[in-house]
Structure 1
Amino acid sequence: MNYLGLLEQVIEQVLAVGRLLAAEWNRPGGPRGRGDKAEVDVAIEKVLRRKLLSLLDCDFWGEETGSRLTGQEFCWVVDPNDGTSDFLQGRPGSAVSVGLLRNAVPVLGVVYAPVTPNLGPDCISWAKGLGGIVRNGQRCLARLDHVGLALGSKVLVSTAAATKPVINAELCAPAEFVSMPSIAYRLARAAAGDAVAGISLVPVSAHDLVAGHALLIGAGGVLLDQAGAPISYESKACLVRASTKCFGGAPQACLELARRNWDILFTT
């Protein structure tokens, strides 16, 4: 399998549908939809499903258009707009997320946030055989193997953290927390070295995680569940609910964060 050649083609398709997401964001009157469903999501996934399966005809796991699971070696995993709720509430930073599993292991990932608060369009990618992740066409040399929680480091959390800043600050210490949409993009930015970890404190599915997980692998990072165990995608049940909480980034930092009492956020 020529993963690097495939990655180039996947990036091309993700950037193309990213333009649809950006156009919906900039639509007069704002993006259409309610709750966690934007009208553009289905349209984007339909395009990606057709294009990706033309590149590699295999199993498919999508958020909006359903799944095709036949036990093949490869499986595309797609979220057309990770962070839809924030997107519909006018918060920039949602992302198109495309990952590829081979025998349940992430081997390729592309996460693209076409609209961000201060970085501009941001595309982060990796495939097996690449010596590190690529960000906006440039090789990123950040490695997560030997970094940990420290003063000045950052932990990327959901936008809900802004409602309980004191508790979140304590749970992330000595690092500082930064709230932002999209767990896929939080994991991608951790892989790119913007933070020591990206986390989610609510149940997540494979379409939320696989692309970001691939990027973490490329950067020497890990993705752990609420018990501090590696997240896997070895069954349909795992694809439906990969974990109830997740911690992705530098190995030691994620282990330490997973041990902390995050449930206190939901009981106070």
Structure 2
Amino acid sequence: MDYQSLLKAVIDSVQQAGERLIAEWQRPHGPRGYGDKADVDTEIEQELRPMLLELLACDFWGEETGASISGDQHCWAVDPNDGTADFLKGLKGSAISVGLLRNGRPVLGVVYAPVTPSRGPDCIAWAEGMERIYRNGEYLAPSLHNAKLSPESRVMVSAAARRKPAINADLCAPAEPLPTTSIAYRLAAVAAGDGVAGVSLVTTAAHDVVAGHAILLGSGGVLLDQSGVEISYVSRAGLAVTSTRCFGGARAACEELAKRDWSLVFQHSYSMVNSPIEKVTKSSPTTTT
């Protein structure tokens, strides 16, 4: 399988579908939908599904149009608009996420955020066999092999982190938290060098993370679950629930972040006395240096 040639065709298809997301964003009365469901999500996946299956006929795992799992060694994993809830709230950065698995391992990923806060359309991609990841026509050297948490680094967290800056700052220390819409875009942007790790504190499925996971692999990174174990997709159950929390980026940073008590984010109040960093450093003085 020539995954690099396939990647070029997938990028074209995803960017074509992204025109729908741009048009939806520009609607005079805002995007259609409510909660975490937007009309354009289904429209994009209905456009992408036949295009992808024409490029490579195999199994398919889609957020909106459902799954078709036969045991083929390849499987597409598609989220047509990762970050829908924030998109409907008027936040930029939701992304089309298309990944490809071979025997449960990511071998190709495209994450395209057509509307971002500062970059404009942002397409990040990688396929097995490439030595560098792709971003908007440029190829970037792997950046995650030896990266660690440091005062100069950033951890990309959910947009909701803006509501609890103190606890998120403490949990990400000594790095700086960077609130970002879409876990798929967080993972891809980390792989492209925008951060040292990306975090999701909600349950994820294959359509949320396969593409970002692939791009992380291309940059020397990992994607770990809530137990600090690398995520895999070897069963239907593993596709349906990949993690209840995940940490993607440089291995050392993700292993450290996975140890911290992220349940504190969901408490009504937070005190530095309960600092997860203090607990970690008492038991392992060098983990955050």
Shift of 1:244: 0.2
Distance in 2, Cα, partners of 1:120 & 1:265: 31
1:216 and 2:216 correspond: yes
The structure whose Rg is larger is 2
RMSD: 0.6
Q: Deviations over 1:49-80 (max 9, x none)?
A: 01000000000000000000000010000000
Task: Report how far residue 265 of structure 1 moved.
Answer: 1.1
Q: Which residue matches 1:8?
A: 8
Q: Identity rate of aligned residues, in percent? A: 61
Query: Residues of 2 paired with 1:92 and 1:142: CA distance?
Result: 26
Name the CA distance, whole Å, in 1 between partners of 2:208 and 2:47. 18
Distance 1:180 1:148 in 2: 20
User: For 2:9 and 2:203, how far apart are their aligned partners in 1?
Assistant: 31
CA distance in structure 1 between the partners assigned to 2:215 and 2:28 by the alignment: 34
Q: What SS does the corresponding residue of 1:44 show, helix, strand or coil?
A: helix
| Equivalent residues in 2 for 1:8-47, closer than 5 Å | 8-47=8-47
Letter in structure 1 aligned against 2:166: V
Once the two structures are TM-superposed, the CA of residue 267 in structure 1 deviates from its matched residue by 2.3
1:45-84 to 2 correspondences below 5 Å: 45-84=45-84
In the alignment, which residue of structure 2 is the partner of 1:194? 194
Aligned-residue offset at 1:236: 0.7
- Shift of residue 181 of structure 1? 0.7
- Return the offset for 1:160: 1.1
Report the AA paired with residue 93 of structure 2: G
Give the Cα separation in 1 of the matches to 2:107 and 2:147: 23
Q: Is the 8 A contact 2:155 2:198 kept in 1?
A: yes
> Which secondary structure state, in structure 2, belongs to the residue aligned with residue 118 of structure 1?
coil
One-letter identity of the residue aligned with 1:205 = A
Q: Match of 1:130, SS?
A: coil
Who is 1:143 aligned against? 143
Q: Any idea what the Cα deviations from partners look like across 1:80-107, whole Å, max 9, x if unmatched?
A: 0000000000000000000000000000
Contact 2:142-2:220 at 8 Å conserved across structures: no
Equivalent pair of 2:142/2:218 in contact (CA under 8 Å): no
Please name the residue that 1:117 is paired with: 117
Aligned to 1:158: 158
Mapped to 1, the partners of 2:35 and 2:92 lie a distance apart of 16
Q: Report the TM-score when normalising by structure 1.
A: 0.99
Letter in structure 1 aligned against 2:249: G
Opposite residue 164 of structure 1, the aligned amino acid is: K
**Map of 1:85 onto structure 2:** 85
**Deviation readout 1:140-161 (Å, 9 max, x if unpaired):** 1142010100012000000111
Q: Which letter does structure 1 place at the counterpart of 2:58? A: C
Q: Are 1:266 and 2:266 matched, yes or no?
A: yes
CA distance, structure 1, for counterparts of residue 29 and residue 178 of structure 2: 28
* TM-score normalized by the length of structure 2: 0.92
Q: Which 4+ stretches in 1 moved above 4 angstroms? A: none
In structure 2, stretches of 5+ residues that fail to align are 269-289
Q: CA deviation at 1:120?
A: 0.7
Q: Deviations over 1:7-61 (max 9, x none)?
A: 0000000000011101100111010000010000001001110100000000000
User: CA-to-partner distance for each residue in 1:98-152, whole Å, 9 max, x for gaps?
Assistant: 0000000000000000000001100000000011100001101142010100012
Report the Cα offset of residue 227 of structure 1.
Answer: 0.5
- Structure 1 residue 233 corresponds to structure 2 residue 233: yes
Q: Identify unmatched segments of 5+ residues in structure 1.
A: none
Deviation string 1:174-208 (CA, Å, 9 cap, x unpaired) is 00001111000000000001000011001111100
Secondary structure at the aligned position of 2:118 is classed as coil
- Which amino acid is the alignment partner of residue 11 of structure 1? I
